[in-house]
Amino acid sequence: MTSSPGKTLILGLGNVLMADEGVGVHVVRRLEQLSLPEGVECLDGGTGGFTLLEPLQSADHIVLIDAAADGNAPGTVTRTTPRFSRDYPPTLTAHDVGVKDLLDVFYIQGGGPDVTLYAITIHPQQPISMSLSDPIDRAAEEAVQCILAELQVEALPAC
């Protein structure tokens, strides 16, 4: 990421009232507490929506963190570089339609920045809670470390 000049947007998605479903927001909140390189912006995207289109369009690189109910074991962190909305995990939890619609509009309007997705697998049924389960809390920390490694903030193992 550091080889690309310009702005990097780290966008965390999820509903923090639905336990593990809010993991993307938890990751962004952890990253906001750290010293990040110039040109890196963290954004709590909540449950998505078209209000996120402008921040996506103004970035040169996007790191998107979201929960996925993709059939992997809960706590699995998957890094991909999708190019189209159909390349994203098939079930991005409670805000599935909104995020995919947003990404479709982004790509149709010529969204050309590189997008890196960190999908963290959760159980598809979540209780009402503002806390992460232990496996998802560990996965959130793993995602933070992987993102820091990509930003070359410190020498960390590659993800």
pLDDT digit string (tens) for 59-69?
A: 999 999 999 98
More confident residue, 39 or 4: 39
Residue type at position 109: Q
- In order of 40, 67, 78, 106, 117, the CA distances from 94 in angstroms are 27, 9, 19, 20, 17
139 token code pair: 């996965």
Residue indicated by tokens 């402008």: 54
- CA atoms of 15 and 137, how far apart (whole Å): 15
Closest CA to 57 of 43, 78, 38: 43
Instruction: Give residue 2's pLDDT.
Output: 42
Average pLDDT score over residue span 70-77: 94
Helix 23-32 to helix 134-151 angle (10° resolution) is 50
The answer to whether residue 36 scores a pLDDT higher than 90 is yes
The per-residue DSSP string of 3-20 comes to TS-S-EEEEEE--TTBGG
Q: Specify whether the CB–CB gap between 82 and 117 falls below 8 A.
A: yes
pLDDT digits (tens, 9 = 90+) for 120-137: 999 988 899 999 999 999
Average pLDDT score over residue span 111-126: 87
Instruction: Give residue 110's pLDDT.
Output: 73
- CA atoms of 149 and 153, how far apart (whole Å): 6
Strands 114-121 and 40-46: unpaired
How sure is the predictor about 91, in pLDDT bands with cuts at 50, 70 and 90?
Answer: low
How sure is the predictor about 111, in pLDDT bands with cuts at 50, 70 and 90?
Answer: low
Q: Specify whether the CB–CB gap between 63 and 13 falls below 8 A.
A: no
Fold annotation for 8-151: Rossmann fold (3.40.50)
